Amino acid sequence: GKAPFAAGADALVKRGSEAIFAESLRTTVANLAAAESFNGSEEIARACVILENAQHIRVAGFRSCRAPAHALVYLCRMFRREITLLGGDGGAIEAELAALGKRDAVVAIGFLPYSRELGPVVEAAQRHSVPIVAIADSMAAPIARHADVTLRFSTDSPSFFPSVTAAMAIVEALAATMLARSGTAAAARVRET
């Protein structure tokens, strides 16, 4: 069979390049507006409380969701040291998942087609009674079905591949909100980095 995005690539090439750049940017703006409307202050507050109460935050994002996962870790490390990217050191993710503790939290980022690697992350979190904050394209996403709170984003794109721009925006907004809620000590840590 064809690679999952081959048909979209073929259609894009047939269509031509005339308006694709502008249409891509317009779609991105619409995705950002959708992210704002999908995610109310209640969901944001619930996600923040889960992450604030965690002794350690473990972030999972694979393939194209690796970038937003990495960005969340990078941003939060400026004011909070206890956050890591699952599989970030190239080691066995199984060992990292076995080390999950009840005071931890997991952030799982994904969209259709969902990465198989997210399954074991969600299963381990459930097994260890670890709360999950999902950042997903749908409430029906496997990670969303098991999450304590889900922040949604749209992947609409005129291109051959789903857009992760709104996921990145959610991650940036979540990190900013967490810092704002963390107070002056957290702001001082940012100054030190």
Supply 113's token pair. Answer: 């087609």
Q: How distant, in Å, are the alpha carbons of 87, 125, 134 from that of 94?
A: 9, 12, 20
Residue 83's pLDDT is 96
**171: three-class secondary structure by DSSP:** helix
Inter-axis angle of helices 165-182 and 184-192, nearest 10 = 120
Rounded to the nearest 5 degrees, what angle is found at the Cα of 103, between the Cα atoms of 98 and 107? 70
Superfamily designation of domain 6-192: Glucose-6-phosphate isomerase like protein; domain 1 (3.40.50.10490)
How far apart, in Å, are the Cα atoms of 152 and each of 5, 143, 158, 169? 22, 11, 20, 11
Task: For CA atoms 72, 132, 113, 61, give the dihedral sign.
Answer: positive
User: What is the structure's pLDDT at 87?
Assistant: 87
pLDDT at 15: 76
Q: What is the pLDDT of residue 90?
A: 66
Dist CA 152 CA 109 (whole Å):
10
- Domain map (residue ranges) of the chain: 6-192
DSSP letter at 6 equals H
Confidence (pLDDT) at 144: 96
pLDDT along the chain (193 residues), means of 10: 70 78 94 97 97 97 96 96 86 85 96 92 95 98 96 93 96 96 83 83
Residues pairing with 60 in the sheet: 108
Contact 172, 75 (CB under 8 A): yes
